[in-house]
Structure 1
Amino acid sequence: MKCAILMDNGFEELEAMGPIALLRRGGVDVDVVSVEGNEVTGRFGVTYSPAVPMDDYDFDSIDCLIVPGGPHYKKLETNDKVKKVIRKVFEDDSKVLAAICAAPTVLGKMGLLEGKNYTCFEEMNKDFGGQYHYDYTVTDGNLVTGISAAAAEEFAFAIMEKLCGKEHTDHVKASIYYDAAH
């Protein structure tokens, strides 16, 4: 399985690092893709380098696109190239689209949450035409959404379960002594 995590400067580090680390731990290939340039820096100064510039990346080769939240969402929602990639993944039934915190609002403004169950940062939820749930993660078909940075682990495991199955995901959870009840 292969994922691309798409980010611009200002992304939320925890929402990127958690999924990258846990998915890689689970044997999933994760590529860091930047909107521009060969590095990308988060809102708290953490830089991923090297990153693959999105213009040089083959999004047809992925099984999943992950979009973390953070202040960069304002740039993403106005970037036509980013929206084109998101829509292409969303419309491909063989691919998973995952967005957390502020990032699902980008999908909502694109009309992609209509008729869907989803979550996002609660204060940013608008009438996106779907059913909002105040939960850490919500999976609806090939759409996985997360509520906030606090849900980064749950979000990563929801993606992993969608890509690799429950048994594999439970094995990875056990390997890090993960217990959702604590």
Structure 2
Amino acid sequence: MKLLIAVAPERFRDEELIEPMKIFASQGIETVIGSTKTGECLGMIGDRIDATITFEDAAISDYDGIVIIGGIGSQDFFWNSQELIGLVRDFYDSGKVVAAICLSPVVLAMAGILKGKKVTVFSSPASTHAMKTSGAVIVNEPVAVDGRIITANGPVAAEAFGEAIITVLKQ
């Protein structure tokens, strides 16, 4: 199995990347880091990771799912990324896993795939508004799974988020 991990070029939430990546590695799942540009991406608390592919160069046929990491960089770089929003829609339409944590479930809302779906998100006025506008059903839980859509509300849910992704991938 192989996952595309979407990481903002700046200000991604370190734990939301590190914890799921440990779980994916322990399960033998291959990961590819993608972003709006290739090269070094910098986390909010100092972690660094290299993005080896841009969203426009990613082919969904190469992956079993997409995992979108949160942090303030998500709002800055992802919420209006037409390439990422289009990828999310294509992954969803292909029946693949679509997962997002923290502020990143807003990308799923922008892709128009959340109407009637139970989701969670890091609560801010902007994120809550986007989720409600999309027709999502916001639940007050650390992790929410609705079919092949997995969402989590922030760093403290990072480990459970990674485990939920594994569970859905294996179904």
Instruction: Tell me the TM-score normalized by structure 2.
Output: 0.88
1:96 maps to 97
**How many Å separate the matches in 2 of 1:88 and 1:24?**
25
Name the structure 1 match of 2:6: 6
Question: Which one of the candidate residues 146, 165, 168 is aligned to 1:159?
Answer: 165
How far apart are the structure 1 equivalents of 2:144 and 2:153? 9
Which residue number corresponds to residue 174 of structure 1? none
Q: Tell me which residue corresponds to 2:83.
A: 81
Give, as a single letter, the amino acid of the residue that structure 2 aligns with 1:4: L
Q: Which residue is 1:25 aligned to?
A: 26
Gapped regions of structure 1 (runs ≥ 5): 166-182
CA–CA distance in 2 between the matches of 1:35 and 1:17?
19
Higher CA-based Rg: 1
2:5–2:69 contact (8 Å) kept in structure 1: yes
Secondary structure at the residue paired with 2:108?
A: helix
1:112 CA displacement: 1.9
In structure 2, the CA distance between the partners of 1:61 and 1:136, relative to structure 1 (3 Å rule), is same
Q: How many residues align?
A: 164
**2:88 partner letter:** I
CA distance in 1, matches of 2:50, 2:109: 30
Letter matched to residue 35 of structure 1: T
Normalised to the residue count of structure 1, the TM-score between the two structures is 0.83
Output the amino acid matched with 1:89: F
Shift of residue 132, structure 1, vs aligned partner: 0.9
Unaligned runs of 5+ in 2: none
CA distance in 2, matches of 1:54, 1:112: 18
For 1:53 and 1:113, locate their aligned partners in 2 and report how far apart those are by CA, in whole Å.
Answer: 24
Give the distance between the partners of 2:69 and 2:51, measured in 1 at CA: 18
- Given that 2:141 and 2:153 are in contact with CA atoms closer than 8 Å, whether structure 1 keeps it comes out as yes
Q: What is the DSSP-based 3-state SS (H/G/I as helix, E as strand, rest coil) of the residue aligned with 2:44?
A: coil
Give the C-alpha shift of residue 56 in structure 1.
3.8
Determine whether 1:132 maps to 2:138.
Answer: yes
Distance 2:14 2:87 in 1: 22
Opposite residue 90 of structure 1, the aligned amino acid is Y
Look up the equivalent residue of 1:125 and give its one-letter code.
T
- Work out whether 1:148 is the aligned partner of 2:151: no
RMSD over aligned Cα, in angstroms? 1.6
Q: Does the alignment pair 1:110 with 2:116?
A: no
Indicate yes or no: 2:57 matched with 1:51.
Answer: no
CA shift for structure 1 position 50: 5.7
Work out whether residues 39 and 52 of structure 1, in 8 Å CA contact, stay in contact via their aligned partners in 2: no
Identity %: 26
**Distance in 1 between residues matched to 2:84 and 2:49, nearest whole Å:** 19
